[in-house]
Structure formats: structure tokens, C-alpha cells
Amino acid sequence: MAQIIRSGAFLQQCWSVHPLCVTVKRMTDENTVILSCSSCRSAHHLTIATVTSKASSAQQMAGEGALRDEPPGEEFLKACVSTHQASLTLREMDVFQDLVRLRCADCRRLYELTVSAFETRHK
């Protein structure tokens, strides 16, 4: 049985030691983003409270009027995970503010996730 640790500190430590090994695996229907580390063989489950999606500055300048009609960030993130999940990377996190930032290289969007619960499961 896998050991479950309910703290964002384990994800932060994992990411700081081997950042290139932490990848986005999937997003569940319950708004949980699952990250996997190939080095320490851990699965990090992030229960998401809110998602804010930001277009790149070049995208914002090209379509200024379209930004007001954008769908919620959760929809962008779900679409991004399902279409080009390999391009999503963990860019920044703050366990004191329960904040995680992901970036997609394909659609050039930045996702700011407010996390309501962290879980790390060791295999």
C-alpha cells in the first residue's frame, strides 16, 4: 500500500531537487491535477480550488477584445491537459499561499492554481 503524505512541502522538495522529472499526468473530473515524478516515483495529487488562465503577452496584444469573453480557467486547463499534456510544466509554487503555476509550451498559457489539498503518494 502506498504511503500518503498530506503536505505541499513534499512536492516542493521533490520539484526543487529534480525539476525536470516532475510532469503533469492527468486531471480528474473532481478537479484534481496529478503530477508524477520519475525520479522519486511519487504521485502528487493537487485538489484545485480555483484556476486562473493567462494568455501570453503576445496573445493578449493580438486579441485584446477576445480576452473578456474567455471561458473559466478550469476549462482551458482541462483542454490543455487532454490535448498536449506533455507540454505542461511546473513553473513555480508557494506552499505558504497554496499556489502552483503551470505553463504550457504549446498554447503558451500560464495557469495559476489555488490548491485546497496536497497529497503525495509514494509507490
- At residue 59, the pLDDT reads 55
Continuous segment of H or E residues that includes residue 49: strand 42-54
- What is the domain extent for residue 10? 3-122
For the whole model, what pTM was predicted? 0.85
- At residue 1, the pLDDT reads 57
DSSP H helical ranges for 1-123: 8-17, 57-62, 73-84
- At residue 65, the pLDDT reads 47
- At residue 58, the pLDDT reads 58
- At residue 123, the pLDDT reads 75
- At residue 70, the pLDDT reads 60
Q: Which residue stretches of the chain have pLDDT < 70?
A: 1-2, 57-71
Query: What Å distances lie between residue 4 and 43, 69, 100, CA to CA?
Result: 10, 40, 20
Number of domains in the chain: 1
